[in-house]
Amino acid sequence: MSIMRQQAVPISLDAHLNWKGVTWRELDIQGQVDPRGASIPGEVYPQEGSLNIGGIPFHIPASNSAREDMVSCEGQQIVCSKPGQYETLIVLGFSVFGDYSDFIGFSYENAISELKPLELTDWFQYYPNKSALFGEETAFEIPYFLDEAEEVARPVAVWLQRIPCNPALTLQQIRLPDNPFMFIVAMTLT
């Protein structure tokens, strides 16, 4: 019996967005990724729609409104819109106030579940040509960030982290960690 693999499936996070992290100064929309007031400038952030990184498609939520535009991990349950047999969950994300390793849950057919580490390096730990703490790849560099709407000329990053799934089982649901300092921008199953 051969196992039928799914093509890359971007996961829509729209129903789970709970944090406004992107600031649009010209639209007078304020975001914030930490209590100090740091935010991502909208003019250098990927626009709503499809984003392709290394041949992998992702769905980026809209950020140019007052609506939330990313997920702060609080144990959200994400039902797979296309249950299937996948090898990898690819996460675009970052952490604030430290580097974090927590667990993401995979629920498969027949009530089988497993926990895997989701590890995200602090976005301030980005330095060009230096590896992230947990081996993440740089998904995209943000050349500067905003502190109370003032530009701070220091690059930060959104990381690309790969988490292995069990490709012999049909994945039905993903449970995010309960760690609000871990932020997810987009996810895709391959």
Is the alpha carbon torsion for 88, 129, 142, 31 positive or negative?
A: positive
Quick check: 123 and 93 in contact, CB under 8 A? no
145 falls in which pLDDT band (50, 70, 90)? Answer: very high
4 falls in which pLDDT band (50, 70, 90)? Answer: low
Q: Is the pLDDT of residue 185 over 70?
A: yes
For residue 85, which of 106, 103, 102 has the smallest C-alpha distance?
Answer: 106
130 falls in which pLDDT band (50, 70, 90)? Answer: confident
Quick check: 83 and 183 in contact, CB under 8 A? no
Residues above pLDDT 70, as percent of the chain: 97
- Extents of the domains making up the chain: 9-184
Residue 147 pLDDT: 94
Residue 35 pLDDT: 85
For residue 89, which of 99, 103, 75 has the smallest C-alpha distance?
Answer: 103
For residue 166, which of 91, 102, 108, 101 has the smallest C-alpha distance?
Answer: 108
Residues above pLDDT 90, as percent of the chain: 90
* Three-state SS at 158: strand
* Three-state SS at 48: coil
Strands (DSSP E) found in the chain: 9-11, 22-23, 38-41, 49-53, 56-60, 71-74, 77-84, 88-95, 100-108, 113-120, 137-142, 145-147, 150-152, 156-164, 171-175, 178-189
DSSP 8-state symbol, 61: P
1 falls in which pLDDT band (50, 70, 90)? Answer: very low
pLDDT tens digits, one per residue of 37-79: 999 999 999 999 999 999 999 999 999 999 999 999 999 999 9
Residue 6 pLDDT: 63
- 167 burial type by CB count under 10 A (0-12 exposed, 13-18 middle, 19+ buried): middle
Q: What is the pTM of this model?
A: 0.94
Residue 129 pLDDT: 80
* pLDDT, averaged across the chain: 94
